Every structure is written in C-alpha cells, then in structure tokens.
Chains A and B, each alone.
Chain A
Amino acid sequence: MFEMRDVTFAYGAVKAVDGVSMTVQKGEIHGLIGPNGAGKSTVIDLISGKRKPVSGSVHINGEDITRRSVTWRRRSGIARSFQRISVFPEIKVAEQLEMVAKLMGERDLDTIVEALQLESALDEYCREISYGEQRRVDVALALIGNPDLVLLDEPAAGLSRNESLRLADHLSALAREREATVILVEHHLEVIFRVCELLTVMAQGAVIASGVPEEVRTDKRVIEAYLGSASDA
C-alpha cells in the first residue's frame, strides 16, 4: 500500500503541492487528474524521489521513504515514466532495455516488448524511431524489474486517440498481470476513465476530490475546476 501524508512542496514562494494526502491500495490503477499547474507532476516527482517535500511524508508498505534516494526507491520497486520523454537517444532500443533489465534483474523482457509492441524498433537507435515508439520505450523502461508501484506521467501525451487507447489497454493488462500498483497522470480523460479504478483530482496544489470515476465525474468542485466540458461531452 502506498500513502502520502500531508505533503507540501514549494518552488520558491509558489506552493505547488499543499498538504496532499493520498492512499493507493496494492494492485490499484489510480488516476491523478487536474488542470495544468495543479501539481500532479510534482506529486509524481515527490513519490519517485526527484524532489523532496518541505513537510509531510511518503510511505510504502508502512515504511517512511521520504528521504530515500531515487536509486533506492527504484531498487525498492518504485518506477516512473516522464512527462517529457526520457530515453537514451544514441543507444539502440534493445540495448537500453537489456541494460536496464540487467540492472533491475528483469528476466521477462519479452513480455514488456510484446505488450508495448516494440519488436520492430529493437534494432533502431531511439533517436530514429517515431514519437509514439519513444513514448512506449519510456514506459517500458519504467515497467522493467516488476516494480510494485509504477508512476506514469502523461504516457499518452502526443499520441493519437487510437494510440492512446491501445497504450491504455496494454498498460492495464500488464499492470494486472504483474500485480503492480499504478498511479497514472493523464490529460486524456478517455484513457483515465477506461483504465482507472479510483481517481484523485487536484487543483492549485491541493486535492479537491477523490473516489470512483462515476462519483468524481459528478462532483461539483471537479466540474467547476476541471471536468466541466468533459462531463458535458
């Protein structure tokens, strides 16, 4: 089980995350949504260790990991993808996947490659493959090593509708198969409603609602802050 307790973070004088608390049960696919600047990516950074909170704490399976390093967290089963694609451009796809697999002791790389349909890109340098394939490599790098908690920061950004939905299906199938907990930040609401069991909605650094997608869709504060046009549609 993953838990954030009253976490606050500021960029200088601007509070990006303000007293956020959140609990995600094992095996859950949990959506984190909100308008631009709501603090979603900062929450991902705080969980993955890229940033350290000003106050509050982050726990996994009861252990306080707030001050743990990025590498410690990754080795302990917390992995992430990035809003801006983060791959190794000058290294062939197969080599970079194998390199990370070796580091993380992953034995079943083929399943990830198949699920994310990366077979045809394996012999290419990452800089040479399409944007969609690069996105999938970024997600694959996060899924290697059977992590307990996978943080996906806008994995469908820049993809077409069909590509996004296909990726969502692959992700949810893979997460279920590997019994991973997933926190998914995504602007593409169709993706969110397709795969997430529970949602947390943020606005201006704070949590304004949480619950099952049906509840969240009808929550007045959410409609006001963010979902108005989507729920109308």
Chain B
Amino acid sequence: MNTKAAEKKMRSTKSTVLLVMACWVVVLLAGIALPQVVGTYQLQLAVQAATLGTFALSIAWLVNQTGMLSFGHAAYYGVAGYSVAILTTETDVPLIVVIAAAVLISAVFAFVVGLVIAKSPGVAFAMLSLSIGMLVWVATTKLDSVTHGTDGFNIVFEGSFLGKDAMSYINPVTSWPVVWSALMLVMALFWFVNRSVFGRRLVAVRENEERMRFSGYRTYMPRVLAFVLSAAIAGLAGCMAVLTSSYISPDNLSFHVSGLALSVAILGGIGSIVGPSVGAIIFVLLQAYLSGSSNYEFILGGALMVVIIAAPGGLAEIVKKLVSLVMRRRRAAHV
C-alpha cells in the first residue's frame, strides 16, 4: 500500500528471518552435540521425543493452519512405516530411497483420502479422518500375508544409511543426529510455509472459507495439499520410528497413537512450531520416570486439563507470556 511502510516491513521481515535462521542453526548444532552431555538411556528418550514431536507437529500444523482436526493421522505414520518394512524386505533398494518412497506413498495415500474428506467441514472432517484411521488399522491386522498381522514386522536392515550401517540406527547414539535433524528440518519447513503466500492463504481459509471463495480463491485444493503435506511429515515420523526400532505393528497405527500425538501437541502448544516437541519431551519423561506406577497417564491427563482451561495455547503460550512479562518489566526498569 504505502511504499515507505512496505520497505520498512520488508527490512524487518528480512532481519526476523536472519535472526530465526541463526537461532535455528545454533539449536540444531547444540542438539547434535547432545550425546556429549547425556547418557545412552537419556539419548534413547530424546530419540523417542523427537520422533513423537515430529508426528505431533504434523497434526498440530494442520489444525493450526487449516482448522482441520485429524483423529486418524497414525494411518499416514503407519503407511510410511509399513512401506519401509515391506520395501526393505522385498527389494534391494538403498534405505534412503526406501524412506523417500515411503514418505511419497504416504503422501499419495493422503492425497486420495484428502480428495474425499477435505471438503467436509469441522466435526465431519474429524470423524472421517478417524474412520480412515480405523480402516487402515483394521487392514494391517487382517492382511497377514503383507503386514504379518498383529505380530508385526521385525525388520532387518541391510547395507548402509547416511554412511553408517543401517542396522546401527537402533542405537540412539547413531540415530539421534538423524531424528533430531529431521525434526529441525520439519520445523524450518513449516515455519517457511506459514510465512509463504500459500501459508497465509491457508490461514485466511481457516478464518473464513466463504469469504476466501467470494474473494476469487478456490479453497478445496489448497486444503487437500495442506493435508498431504501434513500426512507426508507424519509419514516421515513413521519412517524415523521404524528406523530407530526396526519394528512396526498395528499398534503403531491405532487411534491411541493419533490421540497421544494430539494430546502432546495440545499440552505443548498447538499454535506453535516448538510446542508439540515440548509436549513430546514432557510425555516421554513422564512415561520414563513414572511408568512403574502408571501415574504418568494420570498426570498427563491432569496436566492436559489444566493447560486447556488455564492456557489454551499450551506451555508454549505460558513461556511466551512469561518472556514478554520479563521484557516489559526490564523495559519499565530502564525508563
């Protein structure tokens, strides 16, 4: 609109991007150095949290950006996981190609599903996504010859992956840099998508789909594409889970898995890119240190209730509010 204002805005946008990129590099490197300061058990927990965080972020991003609440995202997580298992067992293709193909298969499956369900608004979409999730879960239990049924798949990886023995990724010291980098790359991807023209238009569709259509924008395909992107990331998380455990079973596709990822996303902050990972860390720690008495589920449920009532934006919102409070006080002290 106003040229001077636009120039000022562009300068400020540029400096924000540079600052965020610098922070991102520092956090990425600090994370990669984690094995230097923690033991193998803690690193194993970190691998679990990063995988769950990636999966939770895929669901949270979809809700936050489009308002589409998926209760069946474990289907895409599982389709990719099973694709890795089947392709590894049945072919001699290098693991990196297998993982890329698995993510692609998950995305194609999501595209077909998205074409059917992305037109449905609100609760109808949530219920349809749940139904698809249940169908895929049932299929994995019944198709014994392909999926090994309820016994699940024990996978023997052969060859190397990113310069290391593929089977060694079961060791968290080997797998941590990969799952951590994958999570950081997904965060960066979503951050850029959110700031892109496509991302802003998705928010506008979420805010007022009718007005967007009356502004000349076809809303259906962007919703499908957002769903596909989210499912592809869920698929990547599924690949990471299989890579680091060498195992997949129908349990990985159950409603419980989708519900858990959604819960940790809400706990950490569904509207933030970092929030779902924070929720995943808390869940994994609770599970690890309190699972003996099964109190962790009680505590997680209680924490979820407190967060939803007191801070709907999750722990990320509480941290954001605390930071801005401290900044305000500092500024006031300087005046």
Contacts and interface: CB of A to CB of B under 8 A. Distances in A.
Given A88-B207, A89-B207, A96-B204, A109 B1 contact: yes
Interface stretch (A69-77, A185-193, A202-210): A69-77
A80 B214 contact: yes
Interface size range on B against A: 10 to 19
A121 interface: no
A145 interface: yes
Interface stretch (A22-30, A98-106, A154-162): A98-106
Interface string B172-214: 0000000000000000000000000100110110011011011
A54 interface: no
A102 B217 CA distance: 11
Interface string B1-17: 11000000000000000
Contacts of A1: none
Contacts of A90: 203, 207
Interface string A121-157: 0100000000000000000011011000000000000
B269 to A, nearest CB: 16
Contact of A94 (B1, B215, B216, B217): B1
B120 to A, nearest CB: 18
A212 interface: no
A96 to B, nearest CB: 7
Nearest to A90: B207
B320 interface: no
A95 B218 contact: no
Contact of B207 (A91, A94, A142): A91
A75 B217 CA distance: 9
A86 B213 contact: no
A70 B213 contact: yes
A199 interface: no
A48 B214 contact: yes
B203 A91 contact: yes
Interface string A57-99: 0000000000000110011000110100011111100111111
B216 A71 contact: yes
Contacts of B214: 48, 50, 70, 74, 79-80, 86, 141-142
Contact of A71 (B200, B208, B213): B213
A98 B1 CA distance: 8
Interface in A158-213: none
B207 A71 contact: no
Contacts of A48: 214
B78 to A, nearest CB: 34
Main secondary structure of the interface of A (DSSP, over half): helix
A75 B153 CA distance: 53
B1 A86 contact: no
Given A86-B211, A88-B211, A98-B1, A71 B217 contact: yes
B301 to A, nearest CB: 30
A113 interface: yes
Contacts of A141: 211, 214-215
Nearest to B213: A70
Contacts of B213: 70-71, 74
A115 to B, nearest CB: 13
A110 interface: yes
A113 B210 contact: no
B207 A103 contact: no
Contact of B216 (A74, A96, A113): A74
21 contacts: A71-B218, A74-B214, A74-B215, A74-B216, A86-B211, A86-B214, A88-B204, A88-B207, A91-B203, A99-B200, A99-B204, A99-B215, A100-B216, A102-B197, A103-B216, A109-B1, A110-B1, A110-B2, A141-B211, A141-B215, A145-B216
9 shortest interchain CB distances as A-B pairs: A74-B216, A88-B207, A100-B215, A86-B211, A75-B216, A70-B213, A103-B216, A71-B218, A88-B208
Interface of B: 1-2, 197, 200-201, 203-204, 207-208, 210-211, 213-218
Given A104-B215, A110-B2, 13 more contacts: A48-B214, A74-B215, A86-B211, A87-B211, A88-B204, A91-B200, A91-B204, A91-B207, A99-B201, A99-B204, A100-B215, A104-B216, A110-B1
Interface of A: 48, 50, 70-71, 74-75, 79-80, 82, 86-91, 94-100, 102-104, 109-110, 113, 122, 141-142, 144-145
